Amino acid sequence: MEDNKIQEVKSPSLITTPSGGWGASVHVFAPATVANVVCGFDVLGFAVNEPGDEVIMRMTGKPGITISKITGDDGRLPLDPAKNTVSVSVQHYLQSVGRADVGLDIELHKKMPIGSGLGSSSASTVAGLFAIKTLLGDEADPAKLLPFAMKGEEMACGQGHADNVAPALLGGFVLIRSYEPLDVVRLPHPAGLWCAIVFPDVDVPTREARQIIRKNIQMKDAVTQWGNIAGLVSGLFMQDIDLIGRSMKDVLVEPVRSMLIPDFYKMREMAMGMGAVSFGISGSGPSVFAFTKDEETARLITQKLQQHLTGLKIGSNTYVSTINDAGPRVLG
Amino acid sequence: MEDNKIQEVKSPSLITTPSGGWGASVHVFAPATVANVVCGFDVLGFAVNEPGDEVIMRMTGKPGITISKITGDDGRLPLDPAKNTVSVSVQHYLQSVGRADVGLDIELHKKMPIGSGLGSSSASTVAGLFAIKTLLGDEADPAKLLPFAMKGEEMACGQGHADNVAPALLGGFVLIRSYEPLDVVRLPHPAGLWCAIVFPDVDVPTREARQIIRKNIQMKDAVTQWGNIAGLVSGLFMQDIDLIGRSMKDVLVEPVRSMLIPDFYKMREMAMGMGAVSFGISGSGPSVFAFTKDEETARLITQKLQQHLTGLKIGSNTYVSTINDAGPRVLG
C-alpha cells in the first residue's frame, strides 16, 4: 500500500454519470469480519469469504435515498433511510462528494445473522458504500470510504469503531493503529490459514458486551496483552503460524465476555484438542472462531462444536473460510 | 531464527577444553541497549553499536570465579563474585552445563555510564556469558544464554527482565512476547535507521523508576498503547520509517518517567524540530534517544541537546550509532 494513513477525505476522484445512465444498478457483496482477533481489542480485524451481506443499488431519477426491501433480517432493521446504517453512510458519502442530487434505491439482503459478532452491520454498510462508489465510477482508493463506514458503525453500535468496517472494506488483516487521526495498516497473513466460525444463536448485544468490559485494568495485564499483539503481528509478517497461535491470548476482555457465551471454555478445549491453532471470541460475540492449518480441521471443528451446542439445545450457524483478501466485490 | 521459543536450557552442545587449554583468555564486547522503545514497555528493546562494555576472561587452574579488576565504574560495582551480576550469571551457566569445576578470572571494563538507562548491567552480563561460551567452545545458539543473563538482571534490578539482555545478546530489535514461558522474537528493521542517544548525568535508579509507574491504568489508554506497538512492529517489518515514527507514542509510562528527566519535553521538541523520526526515554532513563533517517541529523541532535543540558549545568554523554545486529563480539 502506498498510503496507509487515512486522515481525511477531501476530494474523491469523482465522478461521471455511469455508462448505464440513470436506472443503472449494481449488486455488491461485502464480507463478514472477525474483530479483536483475541489479543487486539478494538485495533485488529480480518475479513472472511463467507458469510457476508448483499446490496442491490439502483439509481433513480429523483434525489434522495429509499430502501425498498430488506430480506433475511426477520423484520429487525428499519426501512427508514434516516435510521438504516447503509443509507446513512451512503448519504454521508454523497454529501462529501457533492452529489446530494443523486437518487438511489437500496435493497439489502442480509445473508448473515444480526448480532452475531461477525460485523453484520459493517458488511451491509460496506456493501452499500462499495455499490455507490461503483455506480458513480469513483476510482478513489476504497480506503477513502472508511470514514463514511464508521458513521454507520456509530449509528449501529454507539461508537465509531473501525475494526469491522476496515477489514470488510479493505479485505485481509487490518490494524487500526490510531483513531485520531485515523491510521489504518493492512497486514499480511500466511496463505494456508483457515478460519472456522460458529455462531451460537444466543443474544449478546454489542452495546451490552462493551459495557461489561472493565474500564480500569492492571498494567501487568496490559503488558501481557501488548506482548501478545506484537507477537501476533510478527507472526503474520513472518508467516509463522505457531507464533500466531502462541500470541493469541487475551487476559483482559475474554475472561469477561466469555461469560456471555455458552460453554466457551469447553468449546475452546474441544477446538484446541482437534488441532486448532487458536480459538477465541469474534468481536463482541457470541460467535467464536478458530484458526486452523487446513480446511479439514476447520470443518471438523465447526461440526463438533455445532453438535455440542445442539446438545445444549442451542441452535447455531457455522462457516468455514480462508481469509478474504479482496474485501467487497461486484456480483453483477 | 529457527527456534524463537526459549523455554528451558537442557543440554547446551558443550563442551571440550578449549584449544588454548587452561590459561586461555578471551576479550569480549557487548552492546548497550534501548529498552521499551517508547510504546513497548517491558517487551521491546534494541542494541546499538556504541557504547558497550568489555570483559576479559581467563581460565585458571583452580575451580571458582574471581574478579581481579573493574574499571570505569568509579568504584560502584562489587568485586565479590557472589554479588556481581557478571560472575553470578556465569556461575549459573557453569552449573547448568555441569562445569562447576572450571576456574575463571574476570576483568570488567565499563565503557558506558552506570544507571544510564542503556542496559549497563545487561551489557556486562552478556559480555561475561559470551566470553565463557567462547572459552568453552559452546556452539549452542546464543539465545540459550538468555535465562542466565536474566539471573543477572534479577540481581541488578530486582526483576528478571529481558528487554535489555535479549537485544544485547541477540543483536537487533527483539520482542519478548512472553516471560512465562520465555518467548523471544527477533524483529527486522529498516537499514537506514540511525539512533542518537543523550545521557544527562542525573541519577534515576532503575528500581525507583519502576516504582513510580502506575499499577492500574485505563483500558482506553492500554488500547492506544497496543495499537501503537502493533504499528511499530508493522513498521519494522514493512521498513516504513514514517509508520515507525507515528507509532512511537507512549501514553502510559513516559508521562510519569519524563518527570525524572531534565527538560524532557523541551529536548523532544528540539529533536523533532531537527528532523527526528521519534524521540523517547531509553529504558527507565535518564537517557533519551531519537531515531533519525541519517547520521548527520543524529549528530546534530546529540550536539544541540548536549549544549542545552550544559546550559542547565548538567553534564552529558552522547552516542550516535546504527542498530547493532550482531550482538556481542570477540575483540581478541
Mean pLDDT of A259-279: 97
User: Which position among A33, A85, A125, A206 bears the catalytic label?
Assistant: A206
Secondary structure (3-state) at A195? strand
Give me the residues of A, 262-301, that contact B with CB < 8 A.
Answer: none
> Shortest Cα distance from B190 to chain A (angstroms)?
15
Q: Which residue of B has its CA nearest to A2?
A: B240
Q: Is A206 designated active site? A: yes
**Cβ-Cβ contacts under 8 Å, A177 against chain B:** 227-228, 230-231, 234, 243, 246-247
Taking the C-alpha atoms of residue A81 and residue A94, their distance in angstroms, rounded to an integer, is 14
Check pLDDT > 70 for residue B268.
yes
Q: Which positions of B are catalytic?
A: 153, 206
Taking the C-alpha atoms of residue A269 and residue A248, their distance in angstroms, rounded to an integer, is 15
Question: Do A129 and A93 form a contact (C-beta atoms < 8 A)?
Answer: yes
Residue A152 confidence (pLDDT)? 82
**Please, what sign has the CA dihedral across residues B184, B327, B239, B251?**
positive
Residue A213 confidence (pLDDT)? 87
Indicate the helix (H) or strand (E) that contains B195.
strand B194-200
- How large is the angle between the packed helices A146-157 and A120-135, nearest 10 degrees? 150
ipTM for the whole complex? 0.91
Mean pLDDT of A74-96: 94
Residue B21 confidence (pLDDT)? 57
User: Which position among A33, A54, A153, A302 bears the catalytic label?
Assistant: A153
Closest CA to B237 of B189, B165, B297: B189
Taking the C-alpha atoms of residue A253 and residue A40, their distance in angstroms, rounded to an integer, is 10
B89: cell is 550469571
Question: Do B241 and B248 form a contact (C-beta atoms < 8 A)?
Answer: no
Q: Confirm whether residue A123 is marked as ligand binding.
A: yes
Contact A177 B243 (CB under 8 A): yes
Q: Which residue of A has its CA nearest to B228?
A: A177
| DSSP character at residue A170 | H
Binding residues of B for ATP: 113-123
CB atoms < 10 A from the CB of B39, how many?
A: 29
> Shortest Cα distance from B258 to chain A (angstroms)?
18
> Shortest Cα distance from B212 to chain A (angstroms)?
12
Question: Do B45 and B146 form a contact (C-beta atoms < 8 A)?
Answer: no
Check pLDDT > 70 for residue A5.
no
Instruction: Quickly state the pLDDT bin for B1 (edges 50, 70, 90).
Output: very low
Check pLDDT > 80 for residue A246.
yes
Inform me whether the C-beta atom of residue B177 falls under 8 Å from chain A C-beta atoms: yes
Give me the residues of A, 216-235, that contact B with CB < 8 A.
Answer: 216-220, 222-231, 233-234
Q: How far is CA B61 from the centre of its chain?
A: 32
Mean pLDDT of B275-282: 98
Taking the C-alpha atoms of residue A44 and residue A283, their distance in angstroms, rounded to an integer, is 10
Residue B249 confidence (pLDDT)? 97
Q: Which residue of A has its CA nearest to B233?
A: A230
Check pLDDT > 70 for residue A15.
no
Q: Which residue of B has its CA nearest to A220?
A: B215
Of the residues B39, B175, B220, B234, the best mutation for testing chain A's interface (the one with the most A CB atoms within 10 Å of its CB) is B234
Residue pointed to by grid coordinates 531534565: B262
User: Which of B187, B216, B233 has the CB atom closest to A218's CB atom?
Assistant: B216
Q: Which residue of A has its CA nearest to B173?
A: A234
**Please, what sign has the CA dihedral across residues B197, B37, B215, B267?**
positive
Check pLDDT > 80 for residue B10.
no
**Mean pLDDT, all residues of chain A:** 91
Residue A14 confidence (pLDDT)? 40
What amino acid is encoded at A245 in this protein?
G
Contact B175 A228 (CB under 8 A): no
Check pLDDT > 80 for residue A321.
yes
Q: Which residue of B has its CA nearest to A4?
A: B243
> Shortest Cα distance from A132 to chain B (angstroms)?
31
Contact B178 A231 (CB under 8 A): yes
Q: Which residues are bridge partners to B144 per DSSP? A: none
User: Which of A41, A217, A224 has the CB atom closest to B217's CB atom?
Assistant: A217
A182-187 and A194-200 as β-strands: parallel, antiparallel, unpaired? unpaired
- The pLDDT tens digits of the residues spanning A17-70 come to 444 456 799 999 999 999 999 999 999 999 999 999 999 999 998 899 999 999
B14: cell is 558443550
Inform me whether the C-beta atom of residue B175 falls under 8 Å from chain A C-beta atoms: yes
Q: Where are the domains of chain B?
A: 25-187, 194-322
Contact A230 B5 (CB under 8 A): no
Give me the residues of A, 26-55, that contact B with CB < 8 A.
Answer: 40-44
Question: Do B214 and B166 form a contact (C-beta atoms < 8 A)?
Answer: no
Residue B15 confidence (pLDDT)? 43
Q: What is the CATH number of domain B25-187?
A: 3.30.230.10
Q: A–B: how many Cβ contacts below 8 A?
A: 134
Instruction: Quickly state the pLDDT bin for B206 (edges 50, 70, 90).
Output: low
Closest CA to B27 of B56, B7, B4, B50: B56
Residue A182 confidence (pLDDT)? 92
**Cβ-Cβ contacts under 8 Å, B229 against chain A:** 226, 229-230
Contact B234 A44 (CB under 8 A): no
Contact A175 B42 (CB under 8 A): no
Instruction: Quickly state the pLDDT bin for B22 (edges 50, 70, 90).
Output: low
Check pLDDT > 90 for residue B227.
yes
Q: Which residues are bridge partners to A106 per DSSP? A: A57, A67
Instruction: Quickly state the pLDDT bin for B14 (edges 50, 70, 90).
Output: very low
Give me the residues of A, 102-161, that contact B with CB < 8 A.
Answer: none
Question: What string of DSSP letters covers A244-286?
Answer: HHHH---SSSHHHHGGGSTTHHHHHHHHHHTT-SEEEE-TTSS
Q: Confirm whether residue A122 is marked as ligand binding.
A: yes
Q: Confirm whether residue A273 is marked as ligand binding.
A: no
Taking the C-alpha atoms of residue B149 and residue B168, their distance in angstroms, rounded to an integer, is 10
Taking the C-alpha atoms of residue B189 and residue B241, their distance in angstroms, rounded to an integer, is 9
Closest CA to B32 of B161, B204, B165: B165
Q: Is domain A25-188+325-330 annotated with CATH 3.30.230.10?
A: yes
Check pLDDT > 90 for residue B13.
no
Q: How far, in Å, are A144, A183, B205 from residue A96 at the CA level?
A: 11, 20, 55
Inform me whether the C-beta atom of residue A22 falls under 8 Å from chain B C-beta atoms: no
Check pLDDT > 90 for residue B210.
no
Taking the C-alpha atoms of residue A140 and residue A289, their distance in angstroms, rounded to an integer, is 33
Taking the C-alpha atoms of residue A321 and residue A194, their distance in angstroms, rounded to an integer, is 6
Q: What is the CATH number of domain A194-322?
A: 3.30.70.890
Taking the C-alpha atoms of residue B149 and residue B166, their distance in angstroms, rounded to an integer, is 8
Contact A227 B185 (CB under 8 A): no
Contact A231 B183 (CB under 8 A): yes
User: Which of A215, A220, A234 has the CB atom closest to B219's CB atom?
Assistant: A215
> Shortest Cα distance from A232 to chain B (angstroms)?
9
The torsion angle over the Cα atoms of residues A232, A234, A236 and A241, rounded to 10 degrees, is -70
Mean pLDDT of B182-193: 95
- The pLDDT tens digits of the residues spanning B90-115 come to 999 999 999 999 999 999 999 999 98
